[in-house]
Chain A
């Protein structure tokens, strides 16, 4: 029933089984020929109301379908249901269906589907089409019940495929009505074959043949003719009529009904079919009709509500013998479903016969059965049908550990969406689940709020079912928040014991707890304890490489980086990257590449660093968003160092687009990383406008190894500008950051702080102090082979380094760093920009006139860190209009991004610096 593939994809196997063809089948050569010729094209559409034998026809054709050279054509079947309206669910099943033929097909697409971020549709379609194109032979995919999914999710995928169709795949679509696809253009291109009700319905000859198969004595020709005419060849109707005809006197009664044009014939027939069954079968049919699929044991659970005299196996045998619209989905494991049309009628009769209370009870029983079978999605579905939210939530809680272990964000999100918000806000566990979801998306502030809220609810209102587990989960998430708030002792106190005591099945959360314990132990000044803790955990789990053990390696590598021991950090990150690749864990693969890029950039190995960062970008949707963002900044640095100025800013433009997409506004560290590039470009004037930002607004004061550290960039700008109190302000910032670096034992940051401090002291004329600070910095940097930290600080740093080179303990290190400075910086000092003639092609006053007042208004707001949406709202104009104004401004300024426009406007004096 459940298949767990290598990539941890949970699918319901019964959706992938081709239904077995029922007995009494009339061979229909004219239709088989249509299907044969349809295979030449891209799509075969079989469309007719329920009961016209669509499934039977296609299923029987597939059994004998052959290529021209006689090889059987591989085919796979996917029965769609309402759940497939969610395009992430649909794509998982679609890949699972393809994997029935080609077991390892479409690995990249699958990673994207289970990704941390929603990848854009066109990316999914491109990757999937490519991967299908590469499969070794042509094959057929059948989508049955294509009319059941609603909304546009699934069809927007199909539509995109149809525009660049993978030739390897022939699609057969079974639907009750036309799907919303560009059928007329497919028809015009000759790619579409249609089999519709007028082709599917039984001719009089076929009806005669059918009855002579299934009835003991063939019926009268006239009766069949009448039936065929009245039913218009509707196969299910003809079949239902056969139940009346096999009964004594049945044919006469049927004939009289058929002649009475006022009777709604299918109603009559279904009633006759049900009425003609023994009572226990009637009960069985009605009660099991709430299920989309069932096994004897599940059916038993429902029918023996009160009386134990009905045997599900016997009932199923009877229905199969009588050919009563029962379809066997999986002979081996005994899964069945009813014919859709028959099931719909049964459900309607059930409502009339037994009432809402009984139906709710049936759904509850089904929900509990599915929960016990570890089929949470189906359990939740029936619990919701029963109107029993607490049962649905209970099933979610029961499966939470597993969903988290698979880091299955889409499923977690889907479950949370199915529960009303007000209910989530009353339940501590559900609120905690939203916290985990924020964690997957690296939304740390929201995560923090959700954890606090979960604790409040638990204390004030309803305690969770398992308070012990709840407390531990909460403690670990709180520890994470404490770590990011630089409260390391408290972080250790939260995470260490909770991680040890949490049951083994919570592998993902224990991994989280272990990293934060390891990181926080180190940051609180216990590096040995940290190393021992992480190594101990790794030893205990090393036989089983998964995200838990890889997270331990990640924490060890980060600890080495923070301690300034880049050699060991590099080795650890390499091991982690290798194992992550082998285990196919993109989140950790991204981290491995990122840490290596970070280290090699410091070592001035620009080509290697660039490769590692680019590898992170290629995992954009599947790895953690934070490492993707920081890698973009890293690539910006490298491009700028290599003199590829435009490319460098282009990376930051991409970053700000990503921000807009994910958060609706540019993040502060994006703004500062742009300023940092301007500084690297010696453009102090451009960078300086950001120093007016109020530093109390920087929420994130962490010294985690990200490319951008906002206070440090602020200090760099102030030191470079060196006007008025600038240097003093910079020293204050450096003192604060240095204090934090010492407190958190972050040698890496301390090295940077001390070097910058040396430049600041130089500004104040304190050469001796500057030299002392720099010697301390270089001494700390000796083992880590730090280079870029110094080279990025430019020619002043270069000069200062030559002054301390004679100091024996650092001579060798200084020599190595000096060797990395570009030759030109000392040989040809850069000219003072203020002495150069203005290269600005625009006359400023002229430009001011050319902007319309509305454009100017938009421009002023663009300088503030608010989203375009917010700008539109403030000016009471639509988003599209605001967007049009910004585009006008860009084109008048000849720039390509918001911040270039602001930059330009500030320089032209159109707006004042922030």
Chain B
């Protein structure tokens, strides 16, 4: 990944998290206000994609921990560049 400055654990960053299964929108508040998009693949598998800007990686771990407590298997975590940021 092409990042101008090496990321640190307490950088603000955008993340996209994909889990297996369907996650209701009403959990957004408990997940740092990340937006939740649920899609079904052709083979009937449902994925939930969470995206949003998190203040640091302690917030990210908090989200992952909550997803773990919900028993939703984690597929990917992607850190995305934010347009216009350092």
Interface residues of A (CB under 8 A from B): 47-49, 147, 150-152, 175-185, 194, 196-198, 201, 232
A726 to chain B, nearest CB (A): 57
**Is the C-beta of B69 less than 8 angstroms from some C-beta in chain A?**
yes
Q: Which stretch (B16-24, B39-47, B54-62) binds chain A?
A: B54-62
The one of A177, A194, A201 in contact with B61, judged by C-beta atoms closer than 8 angstroms, is A177
> Does A178 lie within 8 Å of B29, measured CB to CB?
no
Within 8 A of A (CB), among B33-55: 33, 55
> Does B58 lie within 8 Å of A180, measured CB to CB?
no
Which B residues are in CB contact (< 8 Å) with A48?
10, 58
> Does B58 lie within 8 Å of A178, measured CB to CB?
yes
B23 to chain A, nearest CB (A): 14
A822 to chain B, nearest CB (A): 56
> Does A182 lie within 8 Å of B59, measured CB to CB?
no
B33 to chain A, nearest CB (A): 4
> Can you report 18 A-B residue pairs in the complex whose CB atoms are below 8 A from each other?
A48-B58, A49-B9, A49-B58, A150-B69, A177-B59, A178-B58, A178-B63, A179-B62, A180-B66, A182-B29, A183-B32, A184-B29, A184-B32, A196-B10, A196-B55, A196-B58, A197-B58, A232-B8
Question: In this complex, what residue of A is CB-closest to B11?
Answer: A198
- Among the interface residues A49, A180, A183, which one has the most CB atoms of the partner chain B within 10 A? A180
User: In the bound complex, what is the Cα–Cα distance between A178 and B59 (angstroms)?
Assistant: 5
The one of B29, B32, B56 in contact with A196, judged by C-beta atoms closer than 8 angstroms, is B56
Interface SS of B by simple majority: helix
Which B residues are in CB contact (< 8 Å) with A196?
10, 55-56, 58
Question: In this complex, what residue of B is CB-closest to A185?
Answer: B29
Which B residues are in CB contact (< 8 Å) with A201?
10
The one of B10, B55, B65 in contact with A180, judged by C-beta atoms closer than 8 angstroms, is B65
User: In the bound complex, what is the Cα–Cα distance between A178 and B55 (angstroms)?
Assistant: 10
Known: A184-B33, A198-B56. 16 other contacts (CB 8 A): A47-B62, A48-B10, A49-B9, A150-B69, A152-B69, A176-B58, A177-B60, A177-B62, A180-B66, A185-B29, A196-B58, A197-B9, A197-B56, A197-B58, A232-B8, A232-B9
> Does B62 lie within 8 Å of A197, measured CB to CB?
no
Which B residues are in CB contact (< 8 Å) with A198?
10, 56
**Is the C-beta of B30 less than 8 angstroms from some C-beta in chain A?**
yes
- Among the interface residues A151, A152, A178, A182, which one has the most CB atoms of the partner chain B within 10 A? A178
User: In the bound complex, what is the Cα–Cα distance between A11 and B11 (angstroms)?
Assistant: 40
Which B residues are in CB contact (< 8 Å) with A175?
58
Question: In this complex, what residue of B is CB-closest to A234?
Answer: B9
- Among the interface residues A176, A177, A194, which one has the most CB atoms of the partner chain B within 10 A? A177
> Does A181 lie within 8 Å of B30, measured CB to CB?
yes
Q: Which 3 A-B pairs have the closest CB atoms?
A: A178-B62, A177-B61, A184-B33
**What's the tally of chain B residues with a CB closer than 8 Å to chain A?**
18
A34 to chain B, nearest CB (A): 15
User: In the bound complex, what is the Cα–Cα distance between A181 and B65 (angstroms)?
Assistant: 12
Which A residues are in CB contact (< 8 Å) with B9?
49, 197, 232
The one of A177, A183, A185 in contact with B65, judged by C-beta atoms closer than 8 angstroms, is A177
> Does B69 lie within 8 Å of A180, measured CB to CB?
yes
Which A residues are in CB contact (< 8 Å) with B29?
182, 184-185
A586 to chain B, nearest CB (A): 34
Which A residues are in CB contact (< 8 Å) with B65?
147, 177, 180
> Does A180 lie within 8 Å of B62, measured CB to CB?
yes
B86 to chain A, nearest CB (A): 13
B54 to chain A, nearest CB (A): 9
Which A residues are in CB contact (< 8 Å) with B10?
48, 196-198, 201, 232
User: In the bound complex, what is the Cα–Cα distance between A390 and B35 (angstroms)?
Assistant: 51
User: In the bound complex, what is the Cα–Cα distance between A194 and B58 (angstroms)?
Assistant: 12
Question: In this complex, what residue of A is CB-closest to B8?
Answer: A232
Which A residues are in CB contact (< 8 Å) with B30?
180-182
Which A residues are in CB contact (< 8 Å) with B60?
177
Which A residues are in CB contact (< 8 Å) with B63?
178
User: In the bound complex, what is the Cα–Cα distance between A171 and B69 (angstroms)?
Assistant: 23
Which B residues are in CB contact (< 8 Å) with A49?
9, 58
A383 to chain B, nearest CB (A): 28
> Does A177 lie within 8 Å of B58, measured CB to CB?
yes
A187 to chain B, nearest CB (A): 9
